[in-house]
Amino acid sequence: MHRLRFLLPLILGIVSALGIPPWSFLPATVVAIAAWLHLVHEAPSLRRVLGIGWWFGVGHFAIANAWVQQPFAFQDAMPPSLGYVAVLALAAYLAIYPMLAAGLAWRLASPAARRDLAPAPDAAFVLVAGAAWTVTEYLRGAMFTGYPWDPLSVVLVPAGLAQPAWAVGTYTLSGLIVVVAGALMLLVLRRWRLAAIAVPGFALLALIGTDRCRIATCVPTPEARQLLRVVQPNLPEEERPTAAYAENNFEALARESGRPGDRPRLLFWPEGAMRFPVEDGYPRYVYDYMGSATLARVRMAALLGDRDAILTGAQTMTFDPRSDEVTAATNSVVLVEPDARLHGRYDKSHLVPFGEYLPLPWLLKPLGLARLVPGDFDFTPGPGPRAISVTGFGRVGILICYEVIFSGATVDPRDRPDFLFNPSNDAWFGDLGPPAHLAQAQLRAIEEGLPIVRSTPTGISAIIAADGRILTAIGMHRTGAIEAPIPPRFAPTPFSRLGNWTVAIAALALTLIAIAIRRRRR
């Protein structure tokens, strides 16, 4: 039986992921983490506990990242079956972080590692485990360009319990989930004190944020008359490589963009929506092959009234002036106004490994691996969070697709926007990825106290309030548009001021409390 001892942590890891959207079964996550903490505490050796942590992580991340298989279905350079290998390989790497959290908790606060400690789990062990999870989840979002997809705290979003993120941030909130789960474990073991403090305390933090205009400053919108219109064309990903896709996509976007009215409108089109060039100054052969940039902008401007504008995803390029060869490309958002000119551009800064660039190409290309997104060259990163000024609508911060999952890297604090725009192409993610992606955008809204507008080709597009509530949305695989006034924003939140320094503060506080508990007991 000892050869199968990895099965229990593996199963617990799988169950723990069932709280993540689209499943959203929060009790499964809490119970699984509570049971896992008990396994960690009772492990007889560091080697055993590292195995418990790693197998738990493999199960958790294999489910949380199951959508990673889907992009392989659209990549001719690699077989779709390789996607399942990619899911397991990614889970094997990401499992290192729960393994480290388990190792730290065991080494610092388990009686098997410290002979001076009581044999039963106690509050100090749970608090150290929460601190360890907080730090290691932050490291997961930072190491090797970071991969913070599906932080543990995302399980709170569907339940409406993620409000503490405005004060402590995503990673600390994840650590608090571990503390609450551990407190419930202690309650089962008839040790009720931590549960008596942690559970009501967490509930109070969650409730405090439900009506934040009473405890924080709600900043008026630039003008209540202005309308935001989000367009979802619902063209399937399978059509992108076809010759007719660019025109079909534009026509679908145009149909759902509506007509000018009495109220000024800002239209939002998804990531990569414009498949035609939008910039002047390219070599002639580009326009001969892809179409006229001037004509593309004129067609967009024809959809606008005198006070309207469009923010759309596009791809921009840089050329060698001597050879006219492409030297760089960017995944961008551009602003087009009624004069058919570009009035702003943002270039995506946090690119997706294997999606927008191939890491270690000198090694991976000879092995037959390619980017998951078809194309001949990698994208070039932009300078980081920036805002575009839109006449009558204020400052709009841009986060293209994957960028919205990075807690603490959302806003330039020196140029705080009025709201955020998150264009994405979630068609790559199948049916599992979009609900989780949306929930992570809701976490960013809560953290920063800013509304977020999401536009995707096939869903889920949404307008999100500054407290994370979805005001209106278009579901997956539907064609349509949604329209709403600009939601109010909050004054800078505690997290927006401190950023991920909250990780260090929380981890230190939990550890110091654990030390104080142990010393008092002695």
* pLDDT value of position 232: 95
Q: Determine the average pLDDT of the residues in 351-377.
A: 60
Indicate the residue type of 129: A
Give the percent of the chain with pLDDT over 90: 56
Residue 352: band (very low, low, confident or very high) from pLDDT cuts 50, 70, 90: confident
Query: DSSP states of 264-302 as a string?
Result: -EEEE--TT-B-S---S---HHHHHHH--HHHHHHHHHT
Q: Is the pLDDT assigned to residue 503 strictly greater than 50?
A: yes
Q: How far is CA 518 from CA 110, 193, 341, 505, in A?
A: 12, 14, 66, 20
Contacts of 436 (CB under 8 A, 6+ apart): 20, 21, 22, 64, 67, 149, 150, 154
Q: 72-81, 104-113, 382-391, 511-520: which range is least confident on average?
A: 72-81
Q: Is the pLDDT assigned to residue 112 strictly greater than 90?
A: no
Residue 373: band (very low, low, confident or very high) from pLDDT cuts 50, 70, 90: low
State pLDDT tens for residues 10-63.
999 999 999 999 999 999 999 999 999 999 998 888 999 999 999 999 999 999
Distance CA 451, CA 384 (A): 19
Q: Is the pLDDT assigned to residue 382 strictly greater than 80?
A: yes
> Which of 54-58, 107-111, 278-282, 361-365 tops mean pLDDT?
54-58
Residue 137: band (very low, low, confident or very high) from pLDDT cuts 50, 70, 90: very high
Cα-Cα-Cα-Cα dihedral sign, residues 55, 61, 64, 68: negative
Indicate the residue type of 322: R
Indicate the residue type of 350: H
CB 178 within 8 A of CB 105: no
* pLDDT value of position 1: 43
Distance CA 304, CA 266 (A): 9
Residue 214: band (very low, low, confident or very high) from pLDDT cuts 50, 70, 90: low
Indicate the residue type of 154: V
Distance CA 131, CA 147 (A): 20
Q: Is the pLDDT assigned to residue 85 strictly greater than 50?
A: yes
Distance CA 217, CA 101 (A): 37
* pLDDT value of position 93: 95
Contacts of 509 (CB under 8 A, 6+ apart): none
- 82-94 vs 46-64: helix crossing angle, rounded to 10: 140
CB 35 within 8 A of CB 9: no
Q: Is the pLDDT assigned to residue 175 strictly greater than 80?
A: yes
Residue 459: band (very low, low, confident or very high) from pLDDT cuts 50, 70, 90: confident
Q: Is the pLDDT assigned to residue 76 strictly greater than 80?
A: no
Pairing of strands 326-336, 387-390: unpaired
State pLDDT tens for residues 465-494.
999 999 999 999 999 999 999 998 988 999
Q: Is the pLDDT assigned to residue 221 strictly greater than 70?
A: no
Distance CA 49, CA 110 (A): 11
Distance CA 290, CA 450 (A): 37
Phi, psi of 490 (to 5 degrees): -95, 160
Cα end-to-end span (Å), the chain: 38
* pLDDT value of position 332: 92
The torsion angle over the Cα atoms of residues 367, 373, 378 and 384, rounded to 10 degrees, is -130
User: What pairs with residue 315 in β-bridges?
Assistant: 331
Provide the H-helix boundaries in 189-271.
193-208, 245-256
Taking alpha carbons only, the member of 43, 37, 39, 201 closest to residue 124 is 37
Q: What is the pTM of this model?
A: 0.91
Helix or strand or coil: residue 418?
coil
* pLDDT value of position 100: 97
Q: In this structure, what token pair is assigned to residue 491?
A: 């004054």
Q: Is the pLDDT assigned to residue 86 strictly greater than 60?
A: yes
User: What pairs with residue 332 in β-bridges?
Assistant: 314, 347
CB 250 within 8 A of CB 231: no
* pLDDT value of position 193: 79
Beta strands in 352-474 (DSSP E): 387-390, 394-398, 419-423, 452-455, 461-464, 470-474
When the pLDDT of each residue in the chain is averaged and rounded to a whole number, the result is: 87
* pLDDT value of position 246: 84
Residue 353: band (very low, low, confident or very high) from pLDDT cuts 50, 70, 90: confident
Contacts of 422 (CB under 8 A, 6+ apart): 399, 400, 401, 403, 404, 441, 452, 453, 454, 455
Distance CA 401, CA 409 (A): 13
* pLDDT value of position 367: 52
Residue 187: band (very low, low, confident or very high) from pLDDT cuts 50, 70, 90: confident
Distance CA 117, CA 513 (A): 16
Q: Is the pLDDT assigned to residue 2 strictly greater than 60?
A: no
